[in-house]
Amino acid sequence: MSSDVPLPRQAAPRTGHRAARRRRPRIGVTTSRRSGWRIFPLVALNLWLAGGRGVRWDTARPADIADVDGLIVGGGDDISPDLYGGQLVATARLDPDRDALERRLVLAALAAGKPVLGICRGAQMLNVALGGSLHQDAYAEFPDSRFRRTILPRKTVQVIPDSLLARVAGTARMRVNALHTQAVDRLGPDLRVAARDEGGMIQAIERSVDPFALGVQWHPEHLFYARRHRALFAALVLAAQAGRDRDQIAGVRAEAVAPDTA
């Protein structure tokens, strides 16, 4: 992956092709059909503050990665162990239709070179879609990782130096919230750990090759008042904008060299 995170550019007059490039990048946001009505507005707010525009997707709505510039896989139910060869636990609440939708979208986004941000379940789906596995009862595996089920930032994670997450949000310890009971176990290909909590549980992962792909186990959408958490959405939007600019420039060049058949 490139070591540089895109930085905001100076505003320019919105005319012609330049105006098209400056439109807010569209970001597909996957949600649960049950709880999306209350979760999506928070994610959309964070995207708007970062210069993007959220488009809500669930299993009842058409979802095509070609229609957006980036993807957020949101939080929600547990991921079926059928996707990674695990054993079902009695406390799991599953949504296989959503599993299939999000796995397809993650793979399509990465194949199309479009950035991905995974939030809680979304971080786990990023890993599973790329061939990794999960701890289904994470706190049994990591007893020193204290379970603090709250949207308030009561948990501490250590960011791995020289990671994409460190370039986006800094290397200092981060205060985060925690609503999850599952966590990343075996990493999928081209993924690496970006943060762990005090008990050693993985709390963030990222892709080591392009395009931008970052998954955090916490819920930054609830922490929009904190600069470091807003930075996650800003990095996604900037990566989406940069990708769209590259595609548009490539399209203009292709038109310029195409033979004139008129």
Residue 4 clears pLDDT 70, i.e. is over it: no
Q: What token pair was written down for 122?
A: 């979304």
The sign of the torsion formed by the CA atoms of 220, 226, 231, 234 equals positive
Q: How far apart are the first and last CA of the chain?
A: 42
Decide if 138 is inside a domain. yes
Q: Give the distance, in angstroms, between the CA of residue 221 and the centroid of all CA atoms in the same chain.
A: 12
- Catalytic positions, written as ranges: 120, 219, 221
CA distances from 256 to 5, 22, 248, 251, 261 (A): 30, 22, 12, 9, 13
Residue 40 clears pLDDT 70, i.e. is over it: yes
* b/e code 50-85 from CB counts within 10 Å (16+ = b): bbbbbbbbbbeeebebeebbbbbbbbbbbbbbebbe
Instruction: Write down the pLDDT at residue 33.
Output: 86
Instruction: Write down the pLDDT at residue 88.
Output: 63
Q: Do you know the residue count of the chain?
A: 262
CA dihedral 64, 70, 75, 76 (to 10 degrees): 0
Instruction: Write down the pLDDT at residue 154.
Output: 93
Strand runs labelled E in 13-120: 26-30, 53-57, 70-73, 116-119
Q: What is the pTM of this model?
A: 0.87
Instruction: Write down the pLDDT at residue 13.
Output: 39
Q: Which residue has better confidence, 173 or 1?
A: 173
Decide if 3 is inside a domain. no
Instruction: Write down the pLDDT at residue 180.
Output: 87
Decide if 29 is inside a domain. yes
Instruction: Write down the pLDDT at residue 253.
Output: 61
Q: Which residue has better confidence, 34 or 200?
A: 200
Decide if 100 is inside a domain. yes
Confidence of residue 256 (pLDDT cuts 50, 70, 90): low
Decide: 30 and 58 in contact? Cβ < 8 Å. yes
Instruction: Write down the pLDDT at residue 147.
Output: 86
Residue 15 clears pLDDT 60, i.e. is over it: no
Q: How far is 225 from 252, CA to CA, in rounded Å? A: 40
Decide if 17 is inside a domain. no
CA distances from 153 to 22, 69, 113, 222 (A): 34, 30, 32, 9
H or E, element range at 138: helix 138-141
Instruction: Write down the pLDDT at residue 11.
Output: 40
Decide if 48 is inside a domain. yes
Above pLDDT 70, what percent of the chain?
84
CA distances from 57 to 80, 98, 206, 230, 236 (A): 20, 10, 23, 21, 17
214-254 pLDDT, tens per residue?
999 999 999 999 999 999 999 999 999 999 988 878 766 66
Residues 6+ positions from 260 with CB-CB distance below 8 Å:
none
Structurally, the chain folds into a number of domains equal to: 1
Q: How many CA atoms lie less than 13 Å away from 7 in the CB half-sphere?
A: 4
Decide if 14 is inside a domain. no
Instruction: Write down the pLDDT at residue 8.
Output: 45
81-92 pLDDT, tens per residue?
989 987 665 455
Residue 41 clears pLDDT 80, i.e. is over it: yes
Instruction: Write down the pLDDT at residue 77.
Output: 85
Lowest mean pLDDT among 97-101, 172-176, 245-249: 245-249
Decide if 9 is inside a domain. no
What's the mean per-residue pLDDT of the chain? 88
Range of the domain at 214: 23-253
**Count of CB atoms within 10 A of residue 227's CB?**
11
Q: What is the mean pLDDT of residues 47-76?
A: 96
H or E, element range at 176: strand 174-178
Q: What is the mean pLDDT of residues 134-163?
A: 93
The enclosing domain of 94 has a CATH number of 3.40.50.880
Q: How far is 175 from 248, CA to CA, in rounded Å? A: 39
